[in-house]
Amino acid sequence: MSTIRDLFHSLGNKHTLVTAGGSATMKMLKNCLQAENLPEELKDIFSRMLKNLEWVVQGALEADEIRRELHDRIYQVIDPDTGKPKEEQKNA
């Protein structure tokens, strides 16, 4: 497997970890914010954490769009099995 293929596989896995883990954590934070007996000071902290986590997950989603575009463009010119430029293989 080529290094480029490994890179895209790893990036896809990391994206899944961030978005799935972030979404699960945001759900837990939202549940905590709905707790009636939670002091306002803690609600404020949970709220700030939630906003930051939403920013992280949104950033991960945008980065994944870029990863997909880059993946498509790279594989137009590079063989995913060898990691070598397709033109180089034609000339060999």
Domain ranges of the chain: 3-82
Which residues, at least 6 apart from 1, have a Cβ–Cβ distance to it below 8 Å? 81
Helices (H), 40-81: 40-77
What pLDDT is attached to residue 23?
A: 92
Q: For residue 54, name the pLDDT band (cuts at 50, 70, 90).
A: very high
What pLDDT is attached to residue 1?
A: 45
Which residues, at least 6 apart from 77, have a Cβ–Cβ distance to it below 8 Å? 85, 86, 87
CB atoms under 10 Å from CB of 43, counted, come to 14
**Could you tell me which residue, 1 or 25, shows the higher pLDDT?**
25
What pLDDT is attached to residue 44?
A: 92
Q: Return the CA Rg of the chain.
A: 20
Rounded to 5 degrees, φ, ψ at 85 are -60, 140
pTM of the model as a whole: 0.70
